[in-house]
Amino acid sequence: MPSVPNPLADEIDRRIEASPDHRTVAIRRIRREYSQRLQPAPPGEVLDVADALVERRRWVAYELVHHHPGALAALDRETVTRLGRIPDAAVHEWARSPDRWWRRAALVSTVPLNLRAAGGTGDAERTLAVCAQLVSDRDDMVVKALSWALRALVKWDPDAVRAFVAAHGDVLAARVRREVTTMLETGRKQRPA
């Protein structure tokens, strides 16, 4: 179902497109600006913006909802399905997608399972099942997400992550091996200078 046009979603999309820097950190700065603007907005308005934006800027739409407590609380099954937050079977389907952003979304969807701040309590089984599907993917955005997913799990189950790296070390991207090993050894993504 195509999204309903939304002027604020269009504005966000134009701002991101016009930005000279398209790295995640730069786009996230723009998203934060709009999250701040939307703080006083009713949840339905935030969900409308996300719904209109999701096909163009999926993760930005998700973060707008995530960073607006009222919008997050207002999610219902229909909206969740429309925005792409769906059951494990769908996440595994995303992991098989030819679209890099769906594959990345599959991995990123495991991160909240392992973040206390997002209500996560650690879920090695679900996290590693998705990671195993994408262990040999070399798309840079997927590689970064794989590293993130594994590093988030380290805090809950370092032994499971260590075993995963050992089992898949020959096919894991060097970046993933380096960042995850550093997290296991130091508790940080990068070694202190």
Residue 142 tokens, joined? 């997927």
Asked if CATH classification 1.10.1660.10 holds for the domain at 88-186, the reply, yes or no, is: no
Q: Tell me the HSE value of 188 on the side-chain side, using a 13 A CA sphere.
A: 5
* Residue 2: per-residue pLDDT: 44
Give pLDDT, residue 3: 59
Q: What is the pLDDT of residue 150?
A: 98
Contact 173, 136 (CB under 8 A): no
pLDDT given at position 78: 80
pLDDT of 1: 43
Contact 82, 51 (CB under 8 A): yes
The pTM of the full predicted model, rounded to 2 decimals, is 0.61
Buried-exposed string 96-110: b where 16+ CB fall within 10 A, e elsewhere: eeeeebbbbbbbbbb
- Six-digit token pair at 163? 């075993």
Give the distance, in angstroms, between the CA of residue 96 and the centroid of all CA atoms in the same chain.
16
pLDDT on residue 87: 76
pLDDT, one tens digit for every residue, the chain (193 residues): 445 789 999 999 999 999 999 888 899 999 999 999 999 999 999 999 999 998 888 889 999 999 998 998 898 878 877 776 667 888 999 999 999 999 999 999 999 889 876 667 899 999 999 999 999 999 999 999 999 999 999 999 999 999 999 999 999 999 999 999 999 999 888 887 7
Single-letter amino acid code for the residue at 65: V
Structure-derived torsion over alpha carbons of residues 144, 147, 148, 151, reported in degrees to the nearest 10:
-160
